[in-house]
Each structure stands twice: as structure tokens, then as C-alpha cells.
A and B are shown apart, each in its own frame.
Chain A
Amino acid sequence: AQSVTQLDSQVPVFEEAPVELRCNYSSSVSVYLFWYVQYPNQGLQLLLKYLSGSTLVKGINGFEAEFNKSQTSFHLRKPSVHISDTAEYFCAVSENSGAGSYQLTFGKGTKLSVIP
């Protein structure tokens, strides 16, 4: 079974500063990687995903992530954060659970708090 580790449970950052949210995964096979965001009292929304090809993936709201196979990492970055980016961020890996079925395994989440 695969696992996802989000190294920081909380990340406070000042408005307009850059931010990096870290994610590492364990896998010996090809993986599909995702970042989802959850705003308070809402469901999850996809920010971006890596399937194959270019290791730098651009997503919505100015976020991007870099897939690093040698370090088994998929860190999320934004060069300048806004108050509206305050939310919970989940890294996830898509895992083959057998017979062609896939399921998402989520990390524990990182709470991003943007300080005015």
C-alpha cells in the first residue's frame, strides 16, 4: 500500500509571501499525484495533478507543484499568497486497489494560514 506524508501540519505565512507545502509519497511503481484544497465548511477541490510528462505542473489560483521521482516528493508552491488561500491542503496518491480499481490515499493535510 502506498502512503503519503505531509511534513507540516500547520504553515503560517504572511500575505504576499511565498509558500511551499511539502508532500512525500512511498511507492515502487508509477503513481498519479494530486493536490486538493478544502476551504472551511466545504468539500475538496482539485488544485492540480501529475500524471506523466513534465515534472512541473501548474494548477488553479497560481499554485504549481514539482514532481521529483528521485526524492519521491510532490511539493506545492505559490510565489505570493493571498488571504483567500487560507485553507486545508491535502496531497493524495492514486493507488491501484486491485482488479482495475483505484482509490485516493490522502495525506493528513496541511493547514495554511495567511496572516494579513
Chain B
Amino acid sequence: DTEVTQTPKHLVMGMTNKKSLKCEQHMGHRAMYWYKQKAKKPPELMFVYSYEKLSINESVPSRFSPECPNSSLLNLHLHALQPEDSALYLCASSQDEAGKDTQYFGPGTRLTVL
């Protein structure tokens, strides 16, 4: 099983709402990632968790709050977002954080902020 699942598929929220994105993998991977992808652009790394600890935060605004409750789950908590935060949010996982490892991507959550 090489599947990374993400819920919800689509999310529409207002600027005052609080919502969460969820990501799950059962491949025994120890590294998990959040990316943001705007239309017609490559994915941009937001956060990396390695062995359930945050190892990289790419200077992401505090209105995005990641959480890794266990080795299979990764959440992204959203609060007070701006319309420019509308994008496809991709989760990925890899065996480890080593450079050689393949990252497996989920299908993404398409977020619209009104």
C-alpha cells in the first residue's frame, strides 16, 4: 500500500473560521510533509516532520499550525486565513528524511478562502 490519504478533498472557509486538514499514511514512513501549491506553480514546502518532531518550518505564517499526533497522522490547523491562502494543500510522506527517499503524495485538499 503506497497510499497517502487526505481529507477533505475540498474546503471553503471564511477568514474568521477555524478548520483542519488531515493526512494519513500506513506505509511506516517516518517523515511527513505539507506543501502549498498555487495554480500553475510547483509545490512549495511548508513543514517537515521527522519521527513526529517538527524539523523544518519554511517561515510559514502562524495562521497555519501543523500537528503530528502519531507516526501515521499529520494535521494542518487553519485559523484566520486570507484569500491569498487559497491553494491546493498537498501532504507527502517518505521512509525517512534522507535525500534519496521517494516522497509519496496525497491527492491534496483544494482550499478556498472567502
Which residues of A line the B interface, CB within 8 A? 32, 34, 36, 41-46, 49, 51, 90, 94-97, 99-104, 106-109
Contacts and interface: CB of A to CB of B under 8 A. Distances in A.
A104 B90 CA distance: 14
Contact of A101 (B42, B90, B97): B97
Contacts of B113: none
5 contacts: A36-B105, A44-B90, A49-B102, A108-B41, A108-B42
A36 B108 CA distance: 15
B24 to A, nearest CB: 14
Contacts, number: 56
B95 to A, nearest CB: 12
A42 to B, nearest CB: 6
Contacts of A43: 4, 90, 92, 105-108
A101 B43 contact: no
A53 B4 CA distance: 30
Interface string B30-57: 0000000000111101001010000110
Interface of B: 4, 40-43, 45, 48, 50, 55-56, 90, 92, 97-100, 102-108
Contacts of A104: 45, 103
A96 B42 CA distance: 19
B97 A45 contact: no
Contacts of B105: 36, 43-45
Closest 6 CB pairs of A and B: A43-B105, A106-B42, A102-B99, A94-B99, A44-B105, A43-B107
